Amino acid sequence: MRVVETVFEFEKTLKECSETEKILVVDFYADWCGPCCRIAPQFEALSSEFRQGNFVFVKVNTDRCSELSRQEGISALPTFKLYHDGKCIETIVG
């Protein structure tokens, strides 16, 4: 699973998913966040389980990519966002 490091990389991934009609699933997390650490294995398992499907899973470290976190309105961790056709279709917090 890829870790997105920049806004440019996120936008490129979002565009690629839109062009290939895949759903982008993003885990916004921080290394110091207990709940983020506890859910990480399940997110990894889902990534593996749906690898051949129409999903792309990525992680965004909110401390390293604070600009993207602000842009996406991340105010609590973990936050999961699903994107289809370049637009956020679902947000799950906590």
Active site residues: 33, 36
The string over 50-87, giving b where at least 16 C-beta atoms fall within 10 Å of a residue's C-beta and e elsewhere, is eeeeebbbbbbbbeebeebbeebebeebbbbbebeeee
